[in-house]
Amino acid sequence: MRWKMNSKIDLDTDCQITTGTIPADLIPDSTRFKELWSLHPDEYSEIVIHGKHVKVPRWNRAYEKDYPFSNQIAIAHDVPESLKSYLEWVQQEIDPRINGLFVNWHDGSLSHYHGKHRDSTKGLIPQTPIITISLGEERVFRMRPYPKGNLIKDFVLRNGDFIIIPWRTNQHWTHEIPKFAKYKNHRISVTMRAFE
């Protein structure tokens, strides 16, 4: 197994997540990170919230498979060579059905964040996991029970950490990347899913 499992964490009696660290050779050095950072689009994408078009507070892009969410569809681009190693690793080590990537670029100096949500499962193979690899500056990955609850569970994702969210957990827990003034640098999340 080419990864280190940090822990399997129970969120409640029915839902859990797994956290770990990718192999050292997949954690980008500063040169490779700059290459990955340069892939971000020039413009923010838009989503529809309560009938209004809103620009998301970060850059994002789909690769290999279109991703429908928030009343719009992120049209997929071909996966660049610099991202292929992450897809191949997940297919080999976690689930061979994983075939689509969705990348978010967070710039702490611009107060980028990702609001509370559950991932859209439209077009996904049922019961497959969602895997996110975090690269660059550490960020808090916050989870809350859905549809409501005062409980908050925070996990710090550092450079090279990943999190596996099972299907059931995504149905019953939201996740988010909140903004904090202390984060000023760049972070990339590479989220991978299994599309039909």
Each residue of 171-189: pLDDT tens digit? 999 999 999 999 999 999 9
pLDDT at 52: 84
How many domains is the chain built from?
1
| 104 annotated to bind ligand | yes
- Range(s) of the domain holding residue 165: 4-193
Q: Residue 83 belongs to a domain with what CATH number?
A: 2.60.120.590
| 2 annotated to bind ligand | no
Each residue of 87-114: pLDDT tens digit? 999 999 999 999 999 999 999 999 999 9
pLDDT at 114: 92
- pTM of the shown model: 0.93
pLDDT at 148: 85
140-175 burial: b if 16+ Cβ within 10 Å, else e: ebbbbbbeeeeeeeebebebbbbbbbebebbeebbb
Binned average pLDDT, 10 residues per bin, the chain of 196 residues: 75 96 96 97 84 88 89 88 97 96 96 92 96 98 92 96 98 96 97 97
| 193 annotated to bind ligand | yes
| 77 annotated to bind ligand | no
Mean pLDDT, the chain, integer = 93
